[in-house]
Structure 1
Amino acid sequence: MAPDVQERSAPGSFPTTDPLSALGRRAYSREAPYRTSGAVDIVVPDEMYSGMIRATPLGPLQAVTMDGDSLSARRTRRLVAQYGQDEDVVVNLLVTGVGRLEQDGRDALLGPGDIFVYDLARPLHLEFPQSFRTKSLVVPRDVLGLSGSDVAHITACPLGSDTPLGGLLSPFISAIVDGAGDCLSRTSGLMARNVVDLLGVLAAEVMGRTGGRTTGNTPGGNLALLLRIQAFIDRHLADPDMTPQTIAQAHFISPRYLHKLFESEEVTVGRWIQRRRLEACRRDLALHGNATIAAVAHRWGFASAAHFSRVFRAAYGMSPREWRGAQDGTPQVPSSARLIDA
């Protein structure tokens, strides 16, 4: 029988395999990753000497530290079909050791200091052939605010600590994971929101670096402009007067050219703004349980709570109040929203 391992929703401790028998250590190493990051097939060495896992809630996120001698984990199509509700996105920092991640047609070699992402909604293979330590943030897709196609662009695309953003995020992720258990409940929620915002920056960086956003009709030379405009939109979501005209004027381009840039996104500029506002509202509804629906709507640029409720229901199939209530269980929210013009 496997030893007791901490549940995903409970505060963490640092259980160790040292006092266990060899059989117990192997059982622990198979069970622990399931409890922290979804169902996977685990292979561990016959002679496993030590291991440790710590999982601590951080608002709606999960902060996980894991040590081991070696590990091979597969999430097969069978497991994806069987545990389809495990749609978390896992952001990892490899602290020590080397590894290899296969997902979405990419095969990435990992080294110390690398930040890498994998998605539990699709098959993957993660392998550490020798002693390793990882620090991870398990992020519900609804909180992350990225579509499935966006997530698919950043999986198995490691960001090294020698890059400007990697050098910033590596110590940040490490400190957040280490300190997760010491935060008050309200502080944890605020920290989780900041983490999610920074992970959005990470996604934009990786997509720009890999060319994941250069498809469609957007010329490769205009990708930087498109990303700057999208970042501008995110910074001004709270402004109810933001329109395609004001965005174009701020970037010294015509509204017609602005709309052409967004053709590759397969959405109009107005719908893009609405989607980002809805994603921000949905995140705040989960992170700030005491805020009123109207306050959340106004914070992110919706002129009225009634209008916000209508477009929210059109996008996600339930009212904001119903969606917030579902967070106490396991919400069934579509990964891609059907949006209407604001």
Structure 2
Amino acid sequence: MLDEMVFRSDDVPAADRFDYWAELLARTHAPMGLRSDHAADFRASQGVLDLGAVTVWSGTFQPLVFLRTPKLIRQSDPEVYHLSLVVRGGGVGVWRHRETEYKPHDLFINSSSLPNDVHSTGDPVQTVALEVPKALLPLPRDMAGRIVGAPMSARDGMGALLAGFLTQLTEDTAAYQPSDGPRLGTVLTDLVAALFAHILEAGDRLPPETHRRALTLRIQAFIREHLRDPHLTPGSIAAAHHISTSYLHRLFQDEDTTVAAWIRRLRLEAARRDLADPALRTVPIHAIAARWGFARATDFSRTHRAAYGTTPKDHRHQALHSHG
């Protein structure tokens, strides 16, 4: 079962519930100003799943106004994108560049770095949400503005894919092992990347740099999906996206890396996760290396030592020892 932190307002005296809820949101999300007509006896519940770099939670709460001000952003900014599936209730999100109304089966997209007011309506409000570090989905500030607050339905297309995965995950956490967490986080990151690419590509009149960013996000999601493929090469990636290999390399120059280095880093991270997984302790290191595209164990060991300063064997021993 995945590790889940659960909060229920009934576990706290009525007079303390609203303040406790505000503290909880500050810890699991970011500091916010909160207002509610129900503050005297606030009712809420929340379950938080830690999926490595990604956080997922389901929440039910009475109507609120969430305020993320420039002062609060300067105080603390976790640098994340926040996406919520509206299950019950609704509301309005207000940013400097946009105002968007939300209803059930809509996706709400926000950024911890942009000032905003979010007014929730309905009693209760029910959402399923996730947060992804911006470092995993790098977008220039002007493009982030195109994403944040963009109207997005969860009834079909990319929105439905993400919403369906989120809903299934939070409805039955018992179906997964704690070691599945980082893998599930990777899947969610890919789905969010694909959703962002879809939004950015929706307008034919968008500037070329926006299309380049959307294409890069799609390519990165494709690479994550095919990491285990030993035939994953710049040539095969370029062909799958109908671009030249030289153009693919230019796209990754904007990422301050090369295609090969990006693939190697992701493969190393995946192999390290498997080496640290107690459920895979009996799988030989060379088999894990081969699973993630390292055909020769000596190449894997050398690359691992160069990246992390330790051998795969030592990393596995350390990780499994800390588990035990």
| TM-score higher than 0.5 | yes
Partner of 1:6: none
Shift of 1:262: 6.7
Asked whether the 8 Å contact 1:238–1:301 carries over to 2, the reply is yes
Q: 1:128 aligns with which of 116, 120, 126?
A: 120
- SS of residue in 1 equivalent to 2:202: helix
Say if 2:162 is the partner of 1:169.
Answer: yes
Cα shift at 1:69 = 2.3
User: Is the Cα contact below 8 Å between 2:106 and 2:154 reproduced in 1?
Assistant: yes
Shift of residue 53, structure 1, vs aligned partner:
2.3
Match of 2:56 among 60, 63, 67: 63
Decide whether aligned partners of structure 1 residues 180 and 269 sit closer, same or farther in structure 2, where only a CA change above 3 A counts.
same
Percent identity, aligned pairs only, is 23
TM-score of the aligned structures, taking structure 2 as reference length: 0.70
Mind listing any 5+ residue stretches in structure 2 that lack a counterpart? 320-324
Q: Secondary structure at the match of 1:193?
A: helix
1:16 to 6, 9, 24: 9
Structure 1 residues 182-223: Cα deviation after superposition (integer angstroms, max 9, x where no partner): 64323444433333333333233233235798533x8x6x99
Q: Aligned partners of 1:189, 1:117: CA distance in 2, in Å?
A: 22
Instruction: Pick from 149, 160, 165 the counterpart of residue 140 of structure 2.
Output: 149
Compute the displacement of 1:128 (Å): 0.9
Equivalence for 2:322:
none
CA distance in 2, matches of 1:121, 1:285: 31
Determine if contact 1:136/1:177 at 8 Å carries over to the other structure.
Answer: no
What amino acid is the match of 1:78? K
Distance 2:26 2:115 in 1: 15
User: Counterparts of 1:284 and 1:201 in 2: how far apart (Å)?
Assistant: 24
How far 1:95 moved relative to its partner? 0.9
1:271 aligns with 2:258: yes
* 2:44 alignment partner AA: M
Unaligned runs of 5+ in 1: 1-8, 329-342
Asked if structure 2 preserves the Cα contact closer than 8 Å seen for 1:281 and 1:296, the reply is no
Q: State the Cα distance separating 1:125 from its structure 2 match.
A: 2.9
Which residue does 1:138 correspond to in 2? Answer: 131
Task: Work out whether residues 189 and 288 of structure 1, in 8 Å CA contact, stay in contact via their aligned partners in 2.
Answer: no
Give the AA of the match of 2:88: T
Q: Aligned residues, how many?
A: 301
Q: In structure 2, what is the Cα distance between the partners aligned to 1:113 and 1:26? A: 27
Amino acid paired to 2:29: S
In structure 2, the partner of 1:90 is 82
Aligned to 2:104: 112
Q: Partner amino acid for 1:16?
A: S
Q: Report the structure, 1 or 2, having the larger helix content.
A: 2
CA contact (8 A) 1:42 1:72 kept: yes
CA root-mean-square deviation: 4.4
CA distance in 2, matches of 1:19, 1:226: 47
The secondary structure found in structure 2 opposite 1:105 is coil
Q: Which residue of 1 aligns with 2:72?
A: 79
1:162 aligned counterpart, secondary structure: coil
AA paired with 1:185?
P
* Contact 1:116/1:156 (8 A) holds in 2: yes
Alpha carbons of structure 1 residues 106 and 183: separation in structure 2 relative to 1, 3 Å: same
| Alpha-carbon spacing, 1:299–1:209, altered in 2? closer, same or farther (3 Å) | farther
Write the distance in 2 (CA, Å) between the matches of 1:68 and 1:59. Answer: 23
Deviation at 1:63, TM superposition (A): 3.0
SS at match of 1:118: strand
The secondary structure found in structure 2 opposite 1:186 is helix
Give yes or no for contact 2:268–2:304 (8 Å, CA) kept in 1.
Answer: no
Q: CA separation of 1:39/1:277 partners in 2, compared to 1, >3 Å: closer, same or farther?
A: farther
C-alpha distance in structure 2 between counterparts of 1:149 and 1:225, whole Å: 14
Q: Give the superposition deviation at 1:112.
A: 0.8
Query: Alpha-carbon deviation of 1:280?
Result: 5.7
Stretch of structure 1 that moved more, 281-290 or 61-70:
281-290
TM-score, scaled to structure 1: 0.67
1:265 to 1:194, Cα distance in 2 relative to 1, 3 A: closer
- For 1:165, what is the secondary structure of its paired residue? helix
